[in-house]
A and B are shown apart, each in its own frame.
Chain A
Amino acid sequence: MDILRTTGISKSFGEVQALKDVDFSLEAGEIHALMGENGAGKSTLVKIITGVYQPTNGSIWFDGADRRLNSPQEAEQIGISTVYQEVNLLPDLSVTENICLGREPRKFGFIDWKAAKERARKALAKLEVDIDVSANLASYSIAIQQLVAIARSLDVECKLLILDEPTSSLDENETHQLFQIMRHLRDQGLAIIFITHFLDQVYEVCDRITILRDGCKVGTFRACDLPRVEMVSKMIGKSAEEIDSMGHRDFSSSEQALGPVILKAENLESRGVVGPLNFELHAGSQVGLAGLLGSGRTETANLLFGIASHDAGHLEINGKVANKSTWNPRKAVKVRLALIAEDRKLTGVIPDLTVRENIILALQASKGALNQIPRRQQDQIAEEYIRRLDIKTPSPEQLLKNLSGGNQQKVLIARWLATKPELIILDEPTRGIDIGAKAEIEALTDDLCKAGMSVVFISSELEEIVQDCQRVVVLRDRRQVGELAGTDVTMKNILKMIAG
């Protein structure tokens, strides 16, 4: 019996269409996985269901009636509840309060804490959790905090529970416990949407799987009817035949003598985050890091660049050994390394600075504050890259925040190219960008490699990786599960490794 039905849901943000005509249905008493890579529209669909966004087109039917959801609070009131990856509760308040906030039992107009604690205990008991509800939420592990969030949802008598990447911070035992609880709740008639990138877990606990790609629904399948490799191939949008026939640039003919090793990672690890990693990069070649969303690719990039410090293993770049405790971006830039990071809004875009200032920033930083690049040279550099990358801006003095996403990304690429690096890490360089800009950036990375730059290329676009990389390191669930080189670099092989 259906509890939720979305019909023809479309959502556009300006010119970008995030969802196209999605029909999605959910039954009461099932655990349903929602899968999709970056830009697939997964989070947009969830935000529409939970009332954060309103659809541009289409309708939502929930629990017996058509609904218009204007806010998360409204969604919660009709019985749609979400537990977020970062839990999003109030860590400095007690467990009791987190569960009862807004609905505290009263006595003579004042809060009856005794009754509230009892209510909290009962809600947790449904999940077979027995903890001191007077203690602060922050004093418990993430696993417990998530269960408190679920208990809150149950207390609100939700009928649809959305779990957004709940297992990212849990260990194996905690994950099993969570799954037990999920099954229990499902058997009692709750509908659960489970969002995760861990393929094993999808098969372990889910009844059905819906796959989104490029804003459209690829299909809904029963878990037992969908082999892993097929699921992965649907997620990346290539059929089995296409995968088989996917050509791989033949490197053997233009057998470049392998240059010296420019980057070496040996058992490189950040405990609990990613690793151990083992791979080498030769000068002038390109190594790809392949894996699905959440497999640890960005974390690897951060380790290499010094944003995060590694606590085990050995990292050597351009001959220089990266010291565990002191490796940082400035040192990385000194050895001619550059990182074009994934989350450009957080880690790259300086919105109120001009295009020119954004472009010369890293170069200036490497020279230090006192050694200012003369204005004329700045203008020259800016103009050069605006031309080379075809950055659409009325002038180099335009504020970066006024440029489109694609052009902002190009500015960030320009920023790092201006430092004339020898080794560049590209983390999802074409993410969230319109088709035109995407093609331009892909062509650019191509040129870079041809020009002799060494590249670590991180992408969920396996096609690109297969086309351009001589070696591919495959990541799954924060671990390196394999390495492919030369003629072994085929889509099929990569998928097999990812799917396990």
Chain B
Amino acid sequence: MNNSQSLNFIIGITALLVCVASTFISGRSQKFRHLRWPLVALSLLFLYNLIFKPTFFALEITDDGYLYGSLIDILNHSSKIALLATGMTLVIATGGVDISVGSIMAISGAVAATVIVSPYSSLILAVFLALLVSTLAGLWNGILVAACGIQPMVATLVLMVAGRGIAQLITDGTIITFHHPAFNAIGNGHLLGLPVPAWLAATIFLIALALTRTTSLGLFIETVGNNRTAARYAGIAARKIVWITYVFSGFCAGIAGLVVCSNIKCADANHAGLYLELDAILATVIGGTSMTGGRFYLSGSILGAILIQALSTVMYANDVNPAVIAVPKAILVIAVCLLQSDRFRSRIMALPVFRKFGGEPC
């Protein structure tokens, strides 16, 4: 075995051990319990690659000084989902859902690209306007849901359908391509060896974490999602909480849109973020947040995003058509749903096999 192969193995075993250790640690702790199953899945993936395709763990440092390899790819590409999932988690926590985030991404990219190819071309202006428009889109959703009382799926369906049309309106029907070094850095650049999108996702995650845990916003969101009536009785402004989550979701989608736009160096209104909202919802649900609302787990959603991307990257590395990743995703969705369903759990726990384990809920 030559040097690079043994290096791969070392990296692979380290990754696996970290995962497995995290699984056990989180299993024991009350606070991080929800991370257990995603970590198990991740561990299994790493194990598979360690045995069958150790080159998966290959890491190189390129001439430009940044890390390169499948693991980095996962980090990079999962950022888009992670960004969306951060906002989506808060929306789902209030008992709602936002299926328009993919379209908001397209709008955001369209605005940014338009600014960049215009005479006022500037990174700051492009980013600012794109995020402004995305946040307003989130506000629109929030108004429909909180003020008008429209069911969230239906309310966000409007923007989901119309959003790509609006994006095309902004780009005048074309796919705007551009070359802007500073802007390109958003999607393609590296900081301290790691991809910028990953830094962005991490930053937004930390911002969301700070917003929800160092203030009582998180507590109020969970209360509103768990028992809206009781929240009102306790003096919480439920409506305001709800629309704040949609605004934030729009903002996150805006950032994700900038990343995609920068990544492909153009604004593609038709394909930017296509179906990504479903991945975001999946990531959130894998992470432990229930679709009925209540307790939410931002860290779980990030891990869920990483898991989904890891699945995709593994398939790619093993020469499987990446579209087939849809099948394991399907299994994931159903498995998570079943695990979250009380009826399913009580039936399973009633089976003689599990009675031995003392009925400890998974």
> Which residues of A does B touch, CB under 8 Å?
305, 307, 329-330, 332-333, 339, 341, 346-353, 357, 361-362, 364-373, 397, 415
Contacts and interface: CB of A to CB of B under 8 A. Distances in A.
Contacts of A347: 229-230, 233
B95 to A, nearest CB: 12
A141 to B, nearest CB: 25
B237 A330 contact: yes
B76 interface: no
Contact of A351 (B215, B227, B231): B227
Nearest to A368: B216
Contacts of A362: 234-235
Interface size class of B (residues with CB under 8 A): 20 to 34
Contacts of B217: 369
A60 to B, nearest CB: 28
B216 A350 contact: no
Contacts of A332: 235
A325 to B, nearest CB: 16
Most B-side CB within 10 Å, residue of A347, A362, A370, A373? A347
Contacts of B234: 329, 348, 361-362, 365, 415
A353 B222 CA distance: 8
A292 B272 CA distance: 63
Contact of A341 (B214, B222, B233, B294): B233
B223 A307 contact: no
A348 B230 contact: yes
Contact of A333 (B216, B223, B226, B235): B235
Contacts of B271: none
B36 interface: no
B236 interface: yes
A53 B233 CA distance: 32
A352 B235 contact: no
A152 to B, nearest CB: 30
Contacts of A353: 219, 222-223, 226, 295
Nearest to B222: A353
25 contacts: A329-B233, A330-B237, A341-B233, A346-B227, A349-B230, A350-B222, A350-B230, A350-B231, A352-B222, A353-B222, A353-B223, A357-B219, A361-B236, A362-B235, A364-B216, A365-B220, A365-B235, A367-B216, A369-B215, A369-B220, A370-B215, A371-B216, A372-B215, A372-B216, A415-B234
A351 B226 contact: yes
Given A305-B233, A347-B233, A348-B234, 13 more contacts: A329-B235, A330-B235, A346-B229, A346-B230, A348-B233, A351-B227, A352-B294, A357-B219, A361-B219, A364-B219, A365-B234, A365-B236, A369-B220
Contacts of A357: 219
A415 B235 CA distance: 12
Nearest to A395: B30
The 7 lowest CB-CB distance pairs between A and B, nearest first, are A365-B235, A330-B235, A369-B216, A347-B233, A333-B235, A329-B235, A362-B234
Nearest to A366: B235
B261 to A, nearest CB: 33
Contacts of A341: 233
B232 interface: yes
Given A350-B226, A353-B226, A397-B30, A307 B232 contact: yes
Most A-side CB within 10 Å, residue of B226, B229, B235? B235
Contacts of B294: 352
Nearest to A399: B295
A458 to B, nearest CB: 15
Nearest to A367: B216
Given A330-B235, A362-B235, A365-B234, A349 B216 contact: no
A332 B232 CA distance: 12
Nearest to B240: A369
A351 B227 CA distance: 8
A365 B231 CA distance: 9
A352 B295 contact: yes
A352 B289 CA distance: 12
B234 to A, nearest CB: 5
Contact of A350 (B223, B235, B237): B223
A305 B235 CA distance: 10
Contacts of B222: 350, 352-353
A371 B236 CA distance: 14
Nearest to B214: A372
Nearest to A373: B216
A357 B220 CA distance: 10
Contacts of A365: 220, 234-236
A297 to B, nearest CB: 16
Nearest to A329: B235
Contacts of A333: 235
Nearest to B236: A365
Contacts of B223: 350, 353, 361
A156 to B, nearest CB: 30
A372 B212 CA distance: 11
Most B-side CB within 10 Å, residue of A364, A369, A415? A369
Nearest to B295: A352
Nearest to B225: A352
Contacts of A368: 216
Given A329-B234, A339-B233, A364-B216, A350 B30 contact: no
B45 to A, nearest CB: 30
Contacts of A348: 230, 233-234
A159 B235 CA distance: 49
Interface in B202-220: 214-217, 219-220
A47 to B, nearest CB: 21
Interface in B283-331: 294-295
A349 B226 CA distance: 9
Contacts of A305: 233
A397 B236 CA distance: 22
Contacts of B232: 307, 329
A348 B232 CA distance: 9
A473 to B, nearest CB: 23
A474 B235 CA distance: 29
B171 to A, nearest CB: 38
B345 to A, nearest CB: 15
A132 B222 CA distance: 47
A307 B223 CA distance: 17
A234 B317 CA distance: 79
Contacts of A350: 222-223, 226-227, 230-231
A364 B233 CA distance: 13
Most B-side CB within 10 Å, residue of A339, A365, A367, A415? A365
Contacts of B237: 330
Contacts of A349: 227, 230
Contacts of B233: 305, 307, 329, 339, 341, 347-348
A341 B233 CA distance: 9
